[in-house]
Structure 1
């Protein structure tokens, strides 16, 4: 019975892990020939990406529209901003300490000479582009997740003003939300095969590049991610819900972490995160708002990787990576690049372009950090997406009080 209970509890993550492990072995053995499996992975990812835009729009609009108490929504959004900023700051402090103790470009064979930083680009233009689109059709694309979220929140306010869940539109949205989540469940049944095929292609294509001059950067970055997970995740969970929070986080965080690591996409992990938050006990009106926004705004792993890339470029171009101004600029650029690179597997290319342009590095710096991006992206996305689940727990505590999880457990709303 115990073995059956363990299997029932962890069947899906074990199947996911088995699929990814099998894919990795196939990629190592067959190398680039493993690309023949790419269509299976692409089909799964395409299904995930197809459902994600309607899921984000409908879930946020429904959550906001169903709220009779607008003060609660304001508290959720305020807690969200505070949580994202504080956890991002902890990540920034950790990586700044690490890259100064162990410079990622120390003793590298790459030599590009010295360089001077050019003037920064206009941040105001980037803010406008990040939050809005100039045509309604732009809201149909997952490349514009923040504008979709903004539009969904506005739609939710309008639905709430017209009667919320009791009006015809509110009832339709709630039905659509149920239908979409059932479709997500159907798609996730393909995950072990889809992620295994995707990972086989990834390892087959980039595996040989895991050695060489970039080895030191990997040795700096991956242990740093492990430290962040082992120290900060339990601390965040303890703050969110005490020892019970840590226990439920450890039980349910595996699915989103593995999915994010394999797909390298916070957006593709959204459906899995939704399910994890539901099982942990996070109220749905909180998770339905926090998770979609977290997929584009809560980027602790990307902050770690972006500052690591910046420090790497400073070393390659023989520039001292010191000074409060340099560190502050690094944090700002890291956050901005994190906004850009979320949402697509291996989608850091645009974010890395942003790092090069905002810091004023020459064009030849781009392929240097693009290679690093491909190598660190799995771990970065894993931290980003699984961190969204934990952020939802923190926000639940800030909105509902310290004993929010105990009350839900005592009320029989959750499985032990």
Structure 2
């Protein structure tokens, strides 16, 4: 019963999608009459996510203790996190090439995914806007995230003078998290209605695309969990490192499945890394920060979601510019998702914003994210343990 309580929202969401699929199959294009229900849900989600991202990111940075000089530990940890996220993303891109998700489905009229102009123009549009009000648009998520981070950093630097504003950011974060949870209670109805419309107007081809994506995610995700983590453990401690990692990673893995949360797995991870010979001062920094910033499972799902959307619109996912952009987006998504309830939806909106995708692309991204959540949680949570082992190894090599 505990397992069903943990994943209650997931089961309700899947039930709504299943009911919508059946209705769409039965009524066909006549089901389009309920599409406004799905549109209302998505509009509420788009509206709430902007203030949520601001308060979540700025509050998290504002509450960092500027007096703690973590020095080389913080630097090595950041490099390990970045390296494993990029490795998982690049290997996923290779998997997408080997097992292509090429089903082309026209959700709306043709859209231009790639941004026009030279690299300088693209970077300017990607990271900045020239008017403050433009930050509040979902089409400019990345500049908004950067602005939120700068506000948090400025609040941290002001110390006692910024205490009242820091409390405001924390309070706003709590309010907006609860607002998103309230909106997501309508998820089974909203996504069910939207999925009914898609099935009724597009047909069975939709299921083929989702099955390809899920098969690729679970197949590659399990491979990465076993082979990738084993390789990282070998880097951290050779053959003994592999043995000690897998011997003590079972309980965190089960905890991640049972709780469905990287944050809730922190206590099990902290206990596990002690047995993996990770010093307490390293484990106490790497594991909690990793739960927020280090998400290999989200990295893999981010690439697959992008490949699915590109396939749906008949776009290639193989040019150097697309690959570099996808790797950059994946790193940002993996960081942004942490600490935000239903954080995957924020990442999906970021993908839509950067590639200029229409609103119709969001439901497929959300559905895939929901279906891969159990394995993604295991990868996100337990990846912090092997990362802590590698940080320990590199710290020892530096003699720090």
**Compared CA separation, residues 143 and 277, structure 1 to 2 (3 A):** farther
- 1:137 and 2:134 matched: no
- 1:371 and 2:333 matched: no
Q: What SS does the aligned partner of 1:120 have?
A: helix
TM-score (norm 2): 0.64
Query: C-alpha displacement at 1:364, in angstroms?
Result: 1.2
Give the Cα separation in 1 of the matches to 2:84 and 2:172. Answer: 25
Query: C-alpha displacement at 1:260, in angstroms?
Result: 2.4
- Cα contact 1:121–1:358 (8 A) shared by 2: no
After superposition, what is the alpha-carbon deviation per residue over 1:56-90, rounded to whole angstroms, capped at 9, x for unaligned?
99xx97xx86xxxx6xx422112112211221221
Gaps of 5+ in 1: 1-17, 34-55, 145-201, 405-416
Q: What SS does the aligned partner of 1:267 have?
A: coil
Quote the residue 2:74 is aligned against. Answer: 77
Give the Cα separation in 2 of the matches to 1:110 and 1:77. Answer: 46
Quote the residue 1:107 is aligned against. Answer: 103
Structure 1 segment 9-408 matched on structure 2, within 5 A: 20=3, 73-104=70-101, 106-107=102-103, 111-117=107-113, 118=115, 120=126, 122=128, 123=142, 125-130=144-149, 132-133=151-152, 135-137=165-167, 140=170, 213-344=209-340, 346-401=342-397
After superposition, what is the alpha-carbon deviation per residue over 1:29-51, rounded to whole angstroms, capped at 9, x for unaligned?
xx969xxxxxxxxxxxxxxxxxx
Query: C-alpha displacement at 1:403, in angstroms?
Result: 12
RMSD: 3.9
Q: What SS does the aligned partner of 1:265 have?
A: coil
After superposition, what is the alpha-carbon deviation per residue over 1:245-277, rounded to whole angstroms, capped at 9, x for unaligned?
111111111222222234332222222211211
After superposition, what is the alpha-carbon deviation per residue over 1:97-144, rounded to whole angstroms, capped at 9, x for unaligned?
01122223x336664453113553534542342465352125647969
**Compared CA separation, residues 319 and 236, structure 1 to 2 (3 A):** same
Q: What SS does the aligned partner of 2:71 have?
A: helix
Gaps of 5+ in 2: 17-59, 116-124, 129-141, 156-164, 175-186, 196-205
Q: How many residue pairs get matched?
A: 295
TM-score (norm 1): 0.61
**Compared CA separation, residues 306 and 223, structure 1 to 2 (3 A):** same
